[in-house]
Amino acid sequence: MNAPTFDITRRTFLAGTGALVVSFTIPLEASAQEGEVPTAPKPPAKLQGSLADTPSLDAWIRIDADGTITVFTGKAELGQGTKTSLRQIAAEELEVAPGEIHLITADTAITPNEGYTAGSQTIQNSGTAIRYAAAQVRQILIAQASGKLGVPADQLKAENGKVIAPNGASVGYGELVSEQMLHINADPNTKIKSPDSYHAIGKPFARVDIPGKVTGGEAYVQDMRPDGMVHARVVRPPSYSAKLVELDETKIKTMPGVIAIVRDGDFLAVVAEQEFQAVKAMRAMTTIAKWQEQAALPDQEQIPAWLEANVSEVGTVTSVGAETAAGVKTLSAQFTRAYQMHGSIGPSAAVAVFKDDALTVWTHTQGVYPDRKAIAQMVGMPEDKVRCIHTEGSGCYGHNGADDAAADAALIATTLPGRPVRVQWMRDQEHLWEPYGPAMLTRANATLDEKGTIVNWHYDLWSNNHGTRPGSAGSLIAGRLMAKHFPPDAAKLQISPLGNGDRNAIPLYDVPNQRVNWHFLADMPVRVSALRGLGAYCNVFSIESFMDELAEAAGADPVEFRLRHMKDPRARKVIEVTADKFDWNNDPLPAGKGRGFAFAKYKNHAAYLAIALEAEVDAETGIIQISHVVSAVDCGEAVAPDAIVNQTEGGILQSMSWTLYEAVHFNNTRITSPDWSSYPILRFSAVPDSIEVHVVDNPGQPYLGVAEAAQGPTGGAIANAFKHATGKRLCDLPYTRERVKTTLGA
Amino acid sequence: MMKLNVNGAAHEVEADPSTPLLYVLRNDLKLNAAKFGCGMGQCGACTVMVDGKAVFSCLTPIMLLEGRRIKTVEGLGTIDNPGPMQQAFIEEQSAQCGYCIAGMMMRAQALLESKPDATDADIRTALEPNLCRCGTHMRILKSVQRARELMKSASATPVSAG
Amino acid sequence: MRLKHFLFGLLGVVIVACAGFFAIAWKSAITPIRPPDRASFDQALIHKGAMLAAVGNCTACHTQPGGRSFAGSFALPTPFGTIYSSNITPDPETGIGTWSEAAFNRAMREGVSRDGKHLYPAFPFDHFTLVSDEDNKALYAFLMTRPPVKQSPPANELPFPLNIRLVLAGWKLLFFDEGPFQNVASESEEWNRGAYLVNGLGHCGACHTPRNMFGAERSGMHLAGGQAEGWSAPALNPSSPAPIPWTQDSLFSYLRQGWHADHGVTNGPMGEVTGNLGLLPDSDVKTIATYVAALMGTPSPERQQRGEQIRKKIGEDFVLASAPTDTPAGRGAAIYQAACATCHDGSRPLPFGGINFHLSSTINAPDAQNAINMVLFGLPAASGRQSAIMPGFAAAMTDEQLTDLLAYLRETFAGQPAWPDVAARAADTRSGKFQVSVRPSDGIERGPDNIGAQDQ
């Protein structure tokens, strides 16, 4: 049976005070990075994907009397194309065209609880659950039809919404369903279809949402216009811990269109009939509000030192083999990464209405259930009276302002019963208040033997928690600002297969002796949380940079050196495909040009990805221009190959932007990167000439999360191309022009 | 009351003359395509066309626009009958979250309307004011190149009367 | 017969004069050398040359936007036509790879290329002539160790007779004083160093001094305000239009950072200047500030007082009374409120927020050109680095609306009457008749294109 397996051979888990987390899925209790660790060991799950948590078939699939098929997923469309790929999966097993599937995404009233749409797990978890559920539903329908048609089940086949007998007699799905028919638990022994019969999985199927999005259709939470809707704007403090000292509300109340001012402790908002009225009132309120601030941020120039000095706990990520090993050459290196932003193009927004003692929130949060829980606690309502419905926002790439905008809308809505409240954050509010990807410091140390093989590997990383999602009401900005405020959730070091700051800290390479430690900082003066890839970006950047240094010390070609240390055939495959398609060689390049290679298996158990690129470095200006990129990715069975290519291209370009430009700036009191002028990201002039993504398809293999797989390797490949082009290794992210010029000298 | 010409149709809007066009398009005229991204002319998500040229609708007060021709994505075609630019973006599957796409399309439309033979380099330069965070740049470029071809062949085809 | 004698005599004079002219005008070629070995140059000398090249802002003219550094082909619009900069990489065929140090020195000192051709004063040899032999040595070391690039510039677009280089000899005769720089004994060491940098490599006067009809800087009007690439370069002498007078401190900060809270961010070609000065030590930038501050002199009591009043005014909460919109001032006020105030009302601090117009030299300037440039073209986003971004309003505003807006700004923020020629200037700027180079603020980095008016 093609159950997804979980490769745990490389890791031992340190449970700390609790149990081993062995299951492949994200059990709800352990899904939050904060929160209690289960006290008793959980037996390995037998049901596939999210079926383990939500085993009832009718939670996933409903067939109406008229034959309409509705599929429910607890995951959300974030722009990765899951509204489309999940349809393909369901359509495959239910033997209909993907366009026949109605898909309902994350809604606390309707869909399964699948935690967060995060960590590249939608296809892995939800897709797998839907796959097996749909397969079982098909078999149930066939069994029903067998009874109705009097034909043995093994002679019947499902096709296009009907079950068909050899003599041509058929009966539609709608005629076969009955009350409670699907209200049974999934059978872990369900067989799914084999790839040679696929009509939907792996086949080209256009994204269902694009036509609407390019013709002005209603697509985003920002497009909602329920009757009676009012417009709200929050006024945020100028810094995290600022306290409101003075606000003369009378000046604002009399502005045209203003309906209400919400003032609850340090939480401030204004509500108006029309949107621009709300904007003007917000600006006026921002000008006249007086705050008391304190200098509570670390020195931006001294972050690596600050990281070292403020460690609260050290966790062992892995400890394998001997502490030291004899060799001929030992190398060490240190790498750093700045705080970096999600930088969603559309600042966060939400719509909420409080009516008949119930609160409904339309939000682009990645986790409707956790956000609901936190909001319910914040407004003091029972959870079952709060409903969060996922509605698309712009790409979030992790925990951005979405959960908080939802909380803002909820809080304001409770003060205006019956009126739908639309909250739209401004650009500076998103930039200044979103939780960033944490700054990191890493140190690598390794020893080579006389054959040029790595025999010993030490790796240390310093980082905050890469996840401060809801959580309790204290994880929400509104929850911390309001008068009856909630304390922020305490950050706890948790080392698990999912990975956090330690994601991809263990190299996949075959090294017999490995020590990897996470120097954890509980203190988070700068707000941080999950940014696409979490620790993988900096860890893979560090490891892949270091691998090239080791290769050089061993006198080896970078690609050959990696293959030398890689037995995993699927890893070897993506490395070889990339090298081949890129025409990787060691011919000299003109001065200033370099080529770089990198590889990682995301989380060490998700997608494999290798990347090669060519870059040109202009020493005068410090500009790095990447000319062409080739990548190969293996994420198991490719459900929607085009979506994989799209996400991989996207990850490459986003990581390129992070690597070349991005660092959040702050002084000792405030974050000072409020917009795109102060936090520049990739523009078209810097986009490469070409990016090729080759999907190594493995039909029938388990799904491996792929959407974040490119972040780390792209950083590594740029680092290595830079070294090749200039002869100098730059170990600090981002590769700003100043850094490049300083590193290269005159 | 202000009279605005949007996508060929005359509209009377009650909004204050200092209101940026973006809010009028979205809230008064219920047009979804132009989006709020920054309100400062830094990201281009709000891009529309005025008299054939691309503008940031987030910063253009409607008082400047009486008697001028405003065009939005909604004026390029419909979901049942997409125009060449829309067709190209659908063909190339040129979106991830899609939030920036309407702005990209209008910026590109303004370019191709004034310069039907725009080169690939012209397209890159023209799109510089518009940001995409998902990294859909390669497809966006490809879509505009495709739209260029579609628009050329559309103009080459003789239009029959009636 | 007298007439014949006279005519012969005249002819003789003309011949002698011509011979004399050619004797002066004709320059010999200096023997080409083999490109010197990079290793032959001392690293410290190269580093010094890098800093000097930054002061000289060589890359601004000798690099095409987005192109290879120092490879030339940059189109410099001048009142006489377009001149394309030469390739000064050490490429032997298309660059200066075969230039000896003597040839380089002569180019800087006399404005003559290795092969004896006179250089157009678009290359400001009238300033670079002041550069010392020692500094030229360092510049030579720097340029000869850059990556060579094979690239030839397009032909200059100049009308007859300006396309005949020999004509420049006459220009030099009339307008060119050969260097090097001579210290002024009565002034401090700092002042002299500042003067050397400003008048020599800095060539500030090339933009900031008015020129005569022959394109030469007007003598006696040193740094009295000039023009470059479609931008008015403000006066750096006592007629500086800055509402809050410059001081040595504020000049230093501005040149160091590329912006100052009292004066705004760099616009137009100035962005590259301050970006390049980033390579210099504080001490050198300070001397430049010292010299310019000295030139500006102590501001009059009236100016000082006005400066203080302005500070007070912007410190208060500035609430605009709404004006009726059917007058030019009312319309201008409405446009300001709707399109400009978001960024320019001071709620976002510089350098990324817009300047409060009370502080703006541009609004106080004698002519409207810079204000028109800013409103039409703004400050494009720089690729991959922090910079102030301002959108351009060329497509959003008609010339009439622009006129209303500027009239309002002049009256409200500068207390001055409207410029008389805004609509005409704006029309010429839009059409490209008057060419303006549009660049991101600060830094040596350029936008992807040198946007002329026709791109808008």
Entry field: residues in chain A: 746
**For residue B159, which amino acid is it?**
V
Which of B96, B120, B127 to probe by mutation at the A interface, max A CB count within 10 Å? B96
Model confidence at C338: pLDDT above 60 = yes
Do residues A401 and A434 lie in contact, with contact meaning Cβ atoms separated by under 8 Å? Answer: yes
User: Using CB atoms within 10 A of its CB, is residue A672 exposed (0-12), middle (13-18) or buried (19+)?
Assistant: middle
Chains B & C: contacts with CB separation below 8 Å: 65
- Is cis: bond before C420, omega within 30 of 0? no
Three-state secondary-structure class, residue A727: coil
| Contact (CB<8Å) C383/A680 | yes
What fold characterizes domain B2-72? Ubiquitin-like (UB roll) (3.10.20)
Asked if A678 reaches chain B (Cβ–Cβ under 8 Å), the answer is: no
Q: Which residues of A554-571 are buried (b: 16+ CB within 10 A; e: fewer)?
A: bebbbbebbbbbbeeebb
Q: Quick one: which of A383, A341, A329, A335 has its CA closest to A361?
A: A383
CA pair distance C440, A151, nearest whole angstrom: 76
| Contact (CB<8Å) A737/C385 | yes
Looking at the DSSP bridge assignments, the partners of residue B109 are: none
Q: What is the ipTM of this complex?
A: 0.96
Among candidates B32, B38, B135 on the partner chain, residue whose Cβ is nearest the Cβ of A218: B32
The whole-number pLDDT of residue C322 equals 55
Q: Quick one: which of A277, C334, C396 has its CA closest to B48?
A: C396
Q: In what order do the strands lie in the sheet with B69-71?
A: B9-13, B2-6, B69-71, B47-50, B53-56
- Taking residues C309-323, what's their average pLDDT? 69
Secondary structure, 3-state, chain B: CEEEEECCEEEEECCCCCCEHHHHHHHHCCCCCCCCCCCCCCCCCCEEEECCEEEECCCCEHHHCCCCEEECHHHCCCCCCCCHHHHHHHHCCCCCCCCCHHHHHHHHHHHHHHCCCCCHHHHHHHHCCCCCCCCCHHHHHHHHHHHHHHHHHHHHCCCCCC
Chains A & C: contacts with CB separation below 8 Å: 67
The whole-number pLDDT of residue C439 equals 84
Do residues A61 and A69 lie in contact, with contact meaning Cβ atoms separated by under 8 Å? Answer: yes
Do residues C82 and C75 lie in contact, with contact meaning Cβ atoms separated by under 8 Å? Answer: yes
Tracing tokens 């032999």 back to the chain, one arrives at C133
**For residue A469, which amino acid is it?**
R
Do residues A494 and A556 lie in contact, with contact meaning Cβ atoms separated by under 8 Å? Answer: no
Chain A 447-506, residues with CB within 8 Å of chain B CB atoms: none
Three-state secondary-structure class, residue C231: strand
Asked if C381 reaches chain B (Cβ–Cβ under 8 Å), the answer is: yes
Find all residues with CB under 8 Å of A88, minimum gap 6, and list them.
Answer: A98, A200, A201, A203, A205, A639, A640
Contacts of C348 in chain A (CB under 8 A): 428, 674
CA pair distance C418, C337, nearest whole angstrom: 19
CA pair distance A707, A175, nearest whole angstrom: 40
The whole-number pLDDT of residue C318 equals 52
Tell me which residues of chain A have a pLDDT lower than 70: 1-45, 746
What is the tens place of the pLDDT at every residue in B66-116?
A: 999 999 999 999 999 999 999 999 999 999 999 999 999 999 999 999 999
The whole-number pLDDT of residue C454 equals 26
Find all residues with CB under 8 Å of C424, minimum gap 6, and list them.
Answer: none
Contacts of B127 in chain C (CB under 8 A): none
Find all residues with CB under 8 Å of A424, minimum gap 6, and list them.
Answer: A222, A231, A232, A233, A275, A347, A349, B36
Do residues C133 and C105 lie in contact, with contact meaning Cβ atoms separated by under 8 Å? Answer: yes
CA C310 remoteness from chain centre: 29
The whole-number pLDDT of residue A6 equals 31
The whole-number pLDDT of residue C320 equals 52
Looking at the DSSP bridge assignments, the partners of residue A360 are: A353, A387
Nearest CA in chain B to A675: B38
Determine which helix (DSSP H) or strand (DSSP E) holds A359, and give its type and residue range.
strand A358-363
Residues of chain B with CATH 1.10.150.120: 84-155
Contacts of B40 in chain C (CB under 8 A): 342-343, 389, 391
CA pair distance A200, B94, nearest whole angstrom: 21
Model confidence at C378: pLDDT above 80 = yes
What is the tens place of the pLDDT at every residue in B11-42?
A: 999 998 889 999 999 999 999 999 999 999 99
Our CA-based measurement puts residue A580 at a distance from the nearest CA of chain B, in whole angstroms, of 22
DSSP per position, A78-128: SSSSHHHHHHHHHHHHHTS-GGGEEEE--BTTTS-----S-SS-IIIIIIH
Asked if C343 reaches chain B (Cβ–Cβ under 8 Å), the answer is: yes
Do residues B96 and A650 lie in contact, with contact meaning Cβ atoms separated by under 8 Å? Answer: yes
| Contact (CB<8Å) C384/A680 | yes
The whole-number pLDDT of residue A377 equals 98
Do residues A200 and A91 lie in contact, with contact meaning Cβ atoms separated by under 8 Å? Answer: yes
Q: How large is the C-alpha radius of gyration of chain B?
A: 15
The whole-number pLDDT of residue C272 equals 82
| Alpha carbon distances (Å) from A544 to A734, C50, C175 | 16, 34, 61
Q: How many helices (H) and strands (E) does chain C have?
A: 19, 6
Among candidates B41, B63, B125 on the partner chain, residue whose Cβ is nearest the Cβ of C335: B63
| Contact (CB<8Å) A675/B40 | yes
CA pair distance A612, A337, nearest whole angstrom: 22
Do residues C78 and C170 lie in contact, with contact meaning Cβ atoms separated by under 8 Å? Answer: no
B39: left (phi over 0), alpha (psi -120 to 50) or beta: left
| Contact (CB<8Å) B41/C381 | no
Domains of chain A: 28-212 (3.30.365.10), 221-293+342-433 (3.30.365.10), 440-466+501-744 (3.30.365.10)
- Taking residues C188-192, what's their average pLDDT? 96
Question: At residue A97, what are phi and psi to the nearest 5 degrees?
Answer: -75, 145
DSSP per position, C383-421: TTS----B---TTT--HHHHHHHHHHHIIIII--PPPTT
Structure tokens at A77: 């469309």
Which of B99, B127, B145 to probe by mutation at the A interface, max A CB count within 10 Å? B99
Do residues A19 and A38 lie in contact, with contact meaning Cβ atoms separated by under 8 Å? Answer: yes
Q: Quick one: which of A397, A280, A389 has its CA closest to A345?
A: A397
What is the tens place of the pLDDT at every residue in A8-57?
A: 222 333 222 222 222 233 333 333 343 344 445 555 558 999 999 999 99
Chains adjacent to B (≥3 CB pairs closer than 8 angstroms): A, C
pTM of the prediction?
Answer: 0.91
Q: Which of A44-58, A84-98, B45-59, C391-405 has the least mean pLDDT? A: A44-58
Do residues C90 and C143 lie in contact, with contact meaning Cβ atoms separated by under 8 Å? Answer: yes
Do residues A339 and A436 lie in contact, with contact meaning Cβ atoms separated by under 8 Å? Answer: yes
Better-scored residue on pLDDT, C299 or B157: C299
CA pair distance C341, C335, nearest whole angstrom: 9
CA pair distance A207, A204, nearest whole angstrom: 9
| Contact (CB<8Å) C337/B124 | no
Our CA-based measurement puts residue C333 at a distance from the nearest CA of chain A, in whole angstroms, of 16
Determine which helix (DSSP H) or strand (DSSP E) holds A171, and give its type and residue range.
strand A170-172
CA pair distance A216, B32, nearest whole angstrom: 5
The whole-number pLDDT of residue A45 equals 54
| Contact (CB<8Å) C390/B39 | no
Q: Quick one: which of B73, B116, A212, B37 has its CA closest to B144?
A: B116
The whole-number pLDDT of residue C271 equals 86
The whole-number pLDDT of residue A31 equals 39
Question: At residue A275, what are phi and psi to the nearest 5 degrees?
Answer: -65, -45
| Contact (CB<8Å) A346/B127 | no
| Contact (CB<8Å) B63/C334 | yes
Question: At residue A189, what are phi and psi to the nearest 5 degrees?
Answer: -95, 15
Contacts of A214 in chain B (CB under 8 A): 73, 82, 86, 89-90, 95, 98, 101-102, 105
CA pair distance A112, A343, nearest whole angstrom: 29
CA pair distance B84, B157, nearest whole angstrom: 13
Structure tokens at C12: 């003789």
Superfamily of domain B84-155: [2Fe-2S]-binding domain (1.10.150.120)
What is the tens place of the pLDDT at every residue in C66-75?
A: 788 899 999 8
Three-state secondary-structure class, residue A268: strand
The whole-number pLDDT of residue A203 equals 94
Entry field: residues in chain C: 456
The whole-number pLDDT of residue C276 equals 82
Structure tokens at B115: 């310069």
CA pair distance A189, A136, nearest whole angstrom: 9
The whole-number pLDDT of residue C449 equals 28
**Residue C313: which pLDDT band, with cuts at 50, 70 and 90?**
confident
**What sign results for the dihedral spanned by CA atoms A74, A78, A83, A84?**
negative
Nearest CA in chain A to C385: A680
Residue spans of alpha helices (H) in A254-367: 275-288, 303-309
C296: left (phi over 0), alpha (psi -120 to 50) or beta: alpha
The whole-number pLDDT of residue C263 equals 94
